[in-house]
């Protein structure tokens, strides 16, 4: 078993989330009790906040460090601007105190930010990096503005000032999935579980990523690095078709990007194995982006460390690629010292 693995899409939740005025109910997210068996739901809820259980799971499977982030949809689901700003700050402080300070060599952090207020989000990211030692930022898809059916996506003009701050800080953004807007779920009627982790998460995030590519964001800020989980939310397989059809689209509708969309996937994105333990899919991902852009992750506690690690150890890849994916790519990207 490979020792020293680093995992990047690993979630936490603390009861203090509600103490700052945020409604804790949206955190059901991918683990809605009515969609999943009670035993699974209860185990996830327990492990989200239990540091000792997490460390035992890590030790058993050779994981040296987990990069922790507030479970979805987190801050992005708080429509009230002031509450969102305050909750992001307090949750970052709580993560630093509860996990990072107690075990600095075992845990790192991705900051939560409130893009309901773009300027405050940039300030909080700066504070989390410079004062708390966080390694980047986790953004859970679109941000609710004012109500749960109004979204701000990351390619839209108000957010570009935040992207400028991100590039200046030279840290990655992990774009994590969330379910589609409640008023955009007609296709899921009768099959509500599909709107969440089994399908809606990936579909929503893939389209969100395409918005970033077609907006010209990466031409304006070429040093941006975005992390996608679940082996790229299907994009390694799907983007060649997108690129092919965009060639025939009218100039006014095919986007403002200056390069083929697959170029951005290879140059500006890192893809993790979180929650996607399928060998055939990984081989395709490696063929599309190369082993320098792929990172080991679990999606803990929604997936088990044991299942993800057993799959990773069985992959028919070289020793060098296993080391890069499991450890050295993450150390380079996040500037980890251990």
Q: Which of 80, 94, 155, 299 is catalytic?
A: 299
| CB of 260 closer than 8 Å to CB of 218 | no
Strands 63-70 and 5-12: parallel
Q: Which of 212, 294, 227 is nearest to 261 (CA)?
A: 212
How far is CA 326 from each of CA 53, 106, 195, 295, 331, rounded to the nearest angstrom?
Answer: 22, 15, 30, 6, 10
Q: What is the CA radius of gyration of the chain?
A: 19
Tell me if residue 93 is catalytic. no
Whether 175 contacts 227, CB under 8 Å: yes
Query: What burial class does residue 332 get, using C-beta atoms within 10 Å of its C-beta: 0-12 exposed, 13-18 middle, 19+ buried?
Result: exposed
| Burial of residue 24, with CB atoms counted within 10 A of its CB: 0-12 exposed, 13-18 middle, 19 or more buried | exposed
What's the token pair of residue 10? 């690993």
Q: Which two tokens stand for residue 4?
A: 């020293």
| Strands of the chain, DSSP E | 5-12, 63-70, 107-111, 136-140, 143-144, 151-152, 173-176, 226-228, 269-272, 294-295
- Among 54, 52, 77, 85, smallest CA distance to 67 is for 54
Catalytic residue ranges: 299
């Amino acid at each position: 078993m490979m020792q020293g693995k680093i995992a990047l899409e690993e979630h936490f939740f603390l009861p203090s989330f509600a103490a700052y005025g945020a409604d804790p109910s949206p955190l059901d997210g991918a683990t809605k009790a009515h969609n999943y068996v009670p035993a699974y739901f209860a185990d996830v809820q327990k492990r989200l906040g239990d540091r000792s259980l997490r460390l035992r799971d890590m030790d058993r499977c050779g994981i040296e460090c987990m990069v922790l982030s507030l479970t979805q949809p987190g801050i992005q689901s708080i429509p009230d601007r002031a509450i969102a700003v305050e909750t992001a700050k307090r949750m970052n402080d709580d993560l630093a105190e509860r996990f990072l300070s107690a075990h600095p060599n075992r845990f790192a952090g991705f900051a939560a930010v409130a893009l309901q207020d773009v300027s405050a989000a940039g300030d909080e990211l700066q504070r989390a990096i410079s004062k708390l030692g966080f390694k980047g930022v986790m953004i859970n898809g679109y941000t609710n503005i004012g109500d749960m059916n109004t979204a701000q996506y990351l390619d839209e003009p108000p957010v570009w000032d935040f992207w400028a701050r991100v590039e200046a800080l030279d840290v990655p953004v992990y774009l994590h999935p969330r379910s589609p807007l409640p008023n955009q779920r007609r296709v899921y009627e009768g099959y509500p579980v599909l709107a969440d982790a089994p399908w809606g998460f990936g579909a929503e995030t893939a389209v969100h990523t395409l918005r970033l590519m077609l907006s010209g964001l990466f031409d304006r800020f070429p040093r941006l690095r975005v992390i996608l989980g679940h082996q790229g939310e299907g994009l390694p397989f799907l983007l060649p078709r997108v690129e092919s059809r965009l060639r025939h689209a009218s100039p006014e509708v095919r986007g403002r990007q200056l390069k083929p969309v697959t170029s951005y996937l290879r140059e500006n994105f890192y893809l993790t194995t979180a929650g996607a333990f399928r060998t055939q899919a990984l081989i395709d991902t490696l063929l599309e982006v190369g082993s320098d852009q792929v990172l080991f992750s679990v999606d803990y506690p929604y997936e088990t460390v044991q299942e993800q690690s057993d799959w990773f150890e069985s992959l028919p890849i070289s020793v060098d690629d296993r080391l890069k994916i499991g450890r050295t790519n993450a150390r380079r990207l996040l500037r980890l010292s251990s």
